[in-house]
Amino acid sequence: MAEQICLSLPDETRAALDEYVRRTGVSTEDVSRGLLESMLFSDRFHRLREVLVPRAEEQGVLTDDDVFEQVSRPWSSIQMS
């Protein structure tokens, strides 16, 4: 079940939100939900990256080209550690 939250916004932020809602036709609820989901996704991405980058570096994966080389190889040749 969805749970409601209440936000306090500075007047300038609320005015910008109201203008965005008016201009785009997207509801305040949808804008707020989308921004929160985006922020939480970004946080998860950065936390995963903190774990995975050192592991990749240990295996010599340092550049985009290294990543491309790894994902382009047949599965049977990939070493899992």
Domain ranges of the chain: 18-72
pTM summary value: 0.68
φ, ψ of residue 72 to 5 degrees: the values are -90, -10
List, for residues 56-69, the tens digit of each pLDDT value.
999 889 999 998 88
Q: What is the DSSP letter of 76?
A: G
Residues of the chain with pLDDT under 50: none
Query: Is the distance from CB of 20 to CB of 28 less than 8 angstroms?
Result: no
How far apart are alpha carbons 37 and 59 in whole angstroms? 33
The rounded distance, in Å, linking the Cα atoms of 36 and 38 is: 5
